[in-house]
Each structure stands twice: as structure tokens, then as C-alpha cells.
Amino acid sequence: MRFAIISDIHSNLEALTKAFEIIDQRSVDEIVCLGDVIGYGANPNECVELIRQRCGIVLRGNHEHAVLNAAETEHFSENARSAIVWTRKHLAEEHLAYFQTLPLSQSKNNLRFVHASPCNPDDWEYIFDEDAAASSFPCFSEALGFIGHTHIPAIFSTEGEVFSISRSERFLINVGSVGQPRDRNIHLSFGLFDTDLWTYENIRSAYDVETTVWKILNTSLPSKLGHRLLMGV
């Protein structure tokens, strides 16, 4: 079985559309979304609609959680809080109701899917480094864990950061961000995993980032949320 694992779309319709174009060319059996479909960008409703149509598994990210619970933005940056307020104002009520149904974590085919950390998923902890990854392995029993949240793709084994996976170890894989990469690479990022071959591939691709930026700048969203897409930060 071939999974496409996407995360952190952040209302970036151009990036999401491009990701689906690539997925459709790669004989994928199921698409998993790890959350944060909304926030930051100008097309929340369109992105949610596409995710609902295309994904077999959809998880709640911290931005979905925040748009449902305003108090959860306490630790957000000022720009992120502004984006949540803007998104809540523009988001269809049916999508808000849909967010209420989304789980924080799900397991399938010996794979664990979660937005942030497998340990207490609703604490929204960031796994940036080997130490944080190491402490998360006891929190799931599956062979592989897939996460997003940091917007930075990475593969961690129980021994540290690595560049590929094998059947002989357990791994925690960050698939990166479709809609707002932050590793100084402006190309969208997501993952492809084959359960038969036991192979993982991180996909990077250009998309129409100029249109995405233009849309943000033509709303009342903070302009920085558009400009940062041109720098991958």
C-alpha cells in the first residue's frame, strides 16, 4: 500500500493543488493529512474542501484547535493570532463543525499518524532535534511515526537523525509542510511511504508561490505571512 502523507497546508491553495497533482501521478492508495489545513493563508475554505474530498485520514492540528478555541492562541505569535482571527471570520460553519470531529492521532498498518508529538498530542510539542525525537519513541508502539508541525522535513531513528529508513529499526518521520516550508527551501514538502517496499520518499516541488503571496497581500492578513513564503522561513 502506498501512502501520501501531507501536513501544514495553511490555507495555501496553490501548494495543495500542486501536491495533489504530484500525488495523482504516483499511484497512491491513500492520502493522510496530519493537520493544520488552515491558518496563515488566504484560501481556508477551498483547502478544507479539497482535504475532505481527497484524504482518507485527517487529523486536527493546532491551528484547527485554535480556531475552535480562541484561548489556545495564547502561545501563538502575533501574526499567527491575527491569522486565526481572520480565518475564523472567513471559515464556513460546516468546516468548523468538521474540525470538531477530527482526531489528534490515528494508527493504521503499523503506522502512527499525529500532527505534533506522539506524547500528549494536544500539548502541541515541537520535535526539532534528536533529543526531542528520542523522548517520543516510548509514546507509540508502531514501527513508524509520521508528524508535521515544525514545517521542517526530517527522519529520526532511535539513535538519532538519519537519511533513510529500514525494516530493522523504528523511525519518526517529519514530512515537512505543503503550504509553508521553514527550512529555507520555498518548495512544498510531503512524504510518500510504501508499505510493501518499506520505502519513504520526501517530495519537494515548486508551485505558484507568487500567486499565493499576492492573495495574502490583498487581504487584511499580516503581510509578513506572504513575504516569508519567498524565503522558506
Task: Tell me what pLDDT residue 74 has.
Answer: 86
Q: Is the pLDDT of residue 159 over 90?
A: yes
Per-residue confidence band for 42, with pLDDT thresholds at 50, 70 and 90 = very high
Task: Tell me what pLDDT residue 128 has.
Answer: 97
Q: State phi, psi for 75 to the nearest 5 degrees.
A: -100, 10
CA dihedral 91, 92, 97, 103 (to 10 degrees): -50
Q: State phi, psi for 27 to the nearest 5 degrees.
A: 50, 50
Provide the number of structural domains found in the chain.
1
Task: Tell me what pLDDT residue 71 has.
Answer: 85
> For 26, which DSSP code?
T
pLDDT digits (tens, 9 = 90+) for 171-223: 999 999 999 999 999 999 999 999 999 999 999 999 999 999 999 999 999 99
Q: pTM of the prediction?
A: 0.97
Coil, helix or strand at residue 147: strand
pLDDT digits (tens, 9 = 90+) for 211-228: 999 999 999 999 999 999
Per-residue confidence band for 80, with pLDDT thresholds at 50, 70 and 90 = very high
Question: What average pLDDT does range 90-119 have in this prediction?
Answer: 98
155: domain CATH number is 3.60.21.10
Residues 186, 16 contacting (CB under 8 angstroms) = no
Task: Tell me what pLDDT residue 103 has.
Answer: 98
Residues near 26 by beta carbon (within 8 Å), at least 6 away in sequence: 2, 4, 192
Task: Tell me what pLDDT residue 70 has.
Answer: 85
Q: What is the mean pLDDT of the chain?
A: 97
Task: Tell me what pLDDT residue 117 has.
Answer: 97
Residues 128, 156 contacting (CB under 8 angstroms) = no
Tell me how far apart the alpha carbons of residues 198 and 217 are, in angstroms, rounded to a whole number. Answer: 42
Domain that holds residue 108: 2-230
Alpha helices in 55-192 (DSSP H): 62-68, 78-90, 93-100, 130-136
pLDDT digits (tens, 9 = 90+) for 88-99: 999 999 999 999
Per-residue confidence band for 75, with pLDDT thresholds at 50, 70 and 90 = confident
Tell me how far apart the alpha carbons of residues 169 and 189 are, in angstroms, rounded to a whole number. Answer: 24
